A and B are shown apart, each in its own frame.
Chain A
Amino acid sequence: MQVSADDLLVLEGLSKRYPTGDRALRDVSLRLPAGQVTMLIGPSGAGKSTLIRCVNRLVEPTAGRVLLRGEDVARLPASGLRRARRRMGMIFQEYALVERLTVMENVLSGRLGYLDFWRSTLRRYPADDIAAAFALLERVGLGGFADKRADALSGGQRQRVGIARALIQSPEILLVDEPTASLDPKTSRQIMRLICELCAEKGLAAIVNIHDVALAKMFAQRIVGLRAGEIVFDGPPADLGPDILTRIYGEEDWTAARETDEDDADERPEDPLRLAEARA
């Protein structure tokens, strides 16, 4: 695969085999231009989480290259890896905030990669970082929440803190793992909208793992379908018809699911498979 200058992230032959023998990723190749929001869909266990964790090496890939602006993250030594991680903001399914720290400390923890040990331990953050944190909290709708403890917030509010923590890293790409899986349908849409707006504002690329096909179609610029560790679809949301969904998820009555989507969009279950089950 030829790496071109405007590719932000290029995955080449990425594979992951867990010690248990499970092959979570098989020879995955993908190129992401700067500023593009790509949604990754696929059944549970298809390797979506493994894929984004191989990008910042929270999971070590078994084989393949992860090129961030041409630099192979998979080969970097520890200090280089930490510098590369600063450029990749991550947002998690269950928010993964440090529960007993304040909202402000959680947001500022996004700057840890830029700070030495003592300054971060004593919470002596540079004034610029603190100003940026307040501005981001304001932007995600949490002005005035700075000194609340993270475990005092609701799910939607926690995910907003998670978004602010990822953005304060000044990343070039967001790695987003099931951001709405624990949220209600309305909050899910608000969070997805916020993530996509912020990506557009700051020119960020994003890989978003998502279970909810309808939500993916609503917000994605590009959809990649993963099944059993392999890419089985890569295209614009408009191409995502019943035959493609069958290729990704397996045999199911997709037309029935689609009609319901249009009827009561707000009460849609997260998983198209479960929806069809409920109707059967």
Chain B
Amino acid sequence: MSARAWSPPPLIANPWLRRGLALAAAAYLLAAVSSIEVNWERVREGLDRGAAFVASFARPDFVSRWGDIHEGIVESLSMTFAATAIGIALALPVGLGAARNLAPAPVYALCRGVIALSRTFQEIIVAILFVAMFGFGPLAGVATLAFATIGFIAKLLAEDIEDIDPAQVEAIRATGATWPQILVYGVAPQVMPRMVGLSVYRLDINFRESAVIGIVGAGGIGATLNTAFDRYEFDTAAAIILVIIAIVMGSEYLSSVVRRRLQ
């Protein structure tokens, strides 16, 4: 008895379309590569500067600007905590309103709009806007991070609420509970562990973002780092980057521990 051959059906059934797409992809790649202009002179210069920069990492200077570094770190951390707390407090009602199974249509549309607005712009763009509004400094940074936190937390909270078991909510409603009681007894227990996990995760993200938005003038360690680069103090810059890496790794580890505990 001869074995019957089998091969999985191709992703695109039409053979002409399939071969045509493969050909088009190859042609595009060829055209794209041939259009790249490399100035080897500049590459060589850049590599030299890069080597100097990497070399300075071998001897980071924590000491001569320690006052600035310390101030920047403290500022970044306080920005992070303030912005996360404010952002979560504002995100809770927005997230509730953006859950299709809880909110009436107009509230749903409004809250989804807020989320979309918050998530449309990258933090740096928002930071530039807030720096223009509030001036340089940590206030603009806190506003930026809080604004970004609203979109992040509210969206994920809303999606979590939309996935809850409706039977538990129905059972609480059947007892004669009011709407706020239904939220506390029927909804909150179902979303709380994930909500705490997300908040810790967002705290972690906000610290990293606080370093980035400092570069456009929104305060914190990013501003200190930018100043170090402007003065060509690569050894101080290296020290700042190492401190940032240490804090990010530490907070990431802590947030992963917290989230694992919550499962």
| Chain A residues near B (Cβ < 8 Å) | 56, 58, 82-86, 88, 90, 92, 94, 96-101, 105, 109-115, 117, 120-121, 162, 165, 169, 175
Contacts and interface: CB of A to CB of B under 8 A. Distances in A.
A188 to B, nearest CB: 19
Nearest to A87: B176
Contacts of A112: 172, 175-178, 181, 185
A93 B236 CA distance: 66
Contacts of B165: 99
Contact of A110 (B175, B180, B193): B175
A100 B175 contact: no
Interface in B90-110: none
B184 interface: yes
Contact of B171 (A83, A92, A121): A92
Contact of B178 (A82, A84, A98, A101): A82
20 contacts: A58-B173, A82-B177, A83-B176, A84-B176, A85-B173, A86-B176, A90-B175, A92-B167, A96-B171, A98-B171, A98-B190, A109-B175, A109-B185, A112-B178, A113-B175, A115-B181, A117-B181, A120-B177, A120-B185, A169-B175
Contacts of B185: 98, 101, 105, 109, 112, 120
Contact of B177 (A96, A99, A113, A175): A113
B184 A120 contact: yes
B189 interface: yes
Contact of B176 (A82, A92, A98, A117): A82
Contacts of A92: 167, 170-171
Interface in B16-30: none
A90 B174 CA distance: 7
A98 B189 contact: yes
A165 B168 contact: no
Given A58-B174, A120-B185, 12 more contacts: A58-B170, A85-B173, A86-B176, A99-B165, A99-B190, A101-B189, A112-B178, A113-B177, A114-B176, A120-B177, A162-B171, A169-B175
B172 to A, nearest CB: 6
A121 B174 contact: no
Main secondary structure of the interface of B (DSSP, over half): helix
Contacts of B177: 82, 109, 112-113, 120
Contact of B172 (A83, A98, A117, A121): A98
Interface of B: 165, 167-168, 170-178, 180-181, 184-186, 189-190, 192-193
B25 to A, nearest CB: 45
B184 A100 contact: no
A112 B189 CA distance: 16
A90 B184 contact: no
A99 B175 CA distance: 17
A82 B179 CA distance: 10
Across chains A and B, which 7 residue pairs bring their CB atoms closest together, nearest first?
A113-B176, A85-B176, A96-B171, A112-B177, A96-B167, A86-B176, A90-B174
Contacts of B193: 100
A90 B171 CA distance: 7
A79 to B, nearest CB: 9
Contacts of A111: 175
A83 B178 CA distance: 10
B168 A98 contact: yes
Most B CB atoms within 10 A — which of A82, A97, A114?
Answer: A82
B174 A99 contact: no
A162 B177 CA distance: 16
A94 B167 contact: yes
A121 B186 CA distance: 12
B168 A169 contact: no
Most A CB atoms within 10 A — which of B175, B184, B185?
Answer: B175
A97 B171 CA distance: 7
A115 B171 CA distance: 16
B165 to A, nearest CB: 8
Nearest to B190: A100
Nearest to B182: A112
B174 A56 contact: yes
Contacts of B186: 98
Contacts of A105: 185
A195 B189 CA distance: 28
A66 to B, nearest CB: 14
A84 B175 CA distance: 9
B189 A109 contact: no
A56 B192 CA distance: 29
Nearest to A114: B176
A93 B36 CA distance: 66
A221 B99 CA distance: 44
B254 to A, nearest CB: 24
Contacts of B180: 117
B192 A109 contact: no
A112 to B, nearest CB: 4
A110 B176 CA distance: 8
